[in-house]
Amino acid sequence: MPAIREQIQLGLDFGREEPIAVLRERLLAAYGPQRHARRHTPPEQFVKALISSETYDRDSEKDFQALCEHFRPLDRLGQAAPREVLTQLANVTHPEKKASQLVASVGRIVEQRGRFDLSHLAALSVETGMELLQLHDGIGPKCAAAVLNFSTLRRRVFVVDRHIRRFGERFGLLPDNASFTRAHQIMLRLMPASWDADDLYELHWLIKRFGQEVCTSQRPLCSRCGMADLCRHGSALASKIPRR
């Protein structure tokens, strides 16, 4: 906990409320609830998470649908030739690498469990589930958390992508240049204990939308931001504007 308090002190004055709770309320006021999307099965989410890294959602979604249509059931990915998988990856980044990772990872799961099945993760602790998932090619902390939280497993873990990491750094919740592993650890510990898996799911999509529309990587729209008063980055910019 001392490390977490140290990170919180990087931010501005949030009053007596938890910083992440204050930010969540602002985001909910701006965008409304974000928790009613259809959930994929764990194997489907495993495939979707693996191919989506460094790729726009709309593009990875096209290739995910293509894979689901071509490899039905998805168990077939484990016996496919990487070049066959590659033909379905027309839109994602690093398609050759991801094709090989899919074949290797799905094949390993089928070998271990008899089929492409991840239902056993429901009975394990989140920490154990994260560790086991990251043993597979192409699955890092972001993808592992997505399988556990975004899927029908609905486990209480927070998914940190580049938008969430940038948000955390600018609002003083994370140190600059934190690794995804470290960012995941810190952000999860900042969540109030009363928040369940759906709360964490919703917060991810609230921050992601905010990061795509306002708090962008290049040229963030600080002048239009409804949370600039809570942001280190926005406050630093405001302090440089000459007063008349």
Residue 145's CATH number: 1.10.340.30
Query: Tokens in use for 73?
Result: 């059931």
Whether 106 and 175 share a structural domain: no
| Total number of domains constituting the chain | 2
- Which residues have CB under 8 Å from 90's CB, separation 6+? 62, 63, 66
Residue 26's domain comprises 2-34+159-184+198-233
DSSP notation for 181-209: HHHHHHHHHHS-TT--HHHHHHHHHHHHH
Same domain flag for 121 and 206: no
Does a cis peptide bond (omega within 30 degrees of 0) precede residue 220? no
128-157 residue pLDDT tens: 999 999 999 999 999 999 999 999 999 999
To the question of pTM greater than 0.75 for the whole model, the response is: yes
CATH number where 227 lies? 1.10.1670.10
In a domain, 223, yes or no: yes
d(CA 232, CA 214) in angstroms, rounded, equals 15
Per residue in 34-84, pLDDT (tens digit) is 988 889 999 999 999 999 998 999 999 999 999 999 999 999 999 999 999
Q: Is residue 243 part of a domain?
A: no
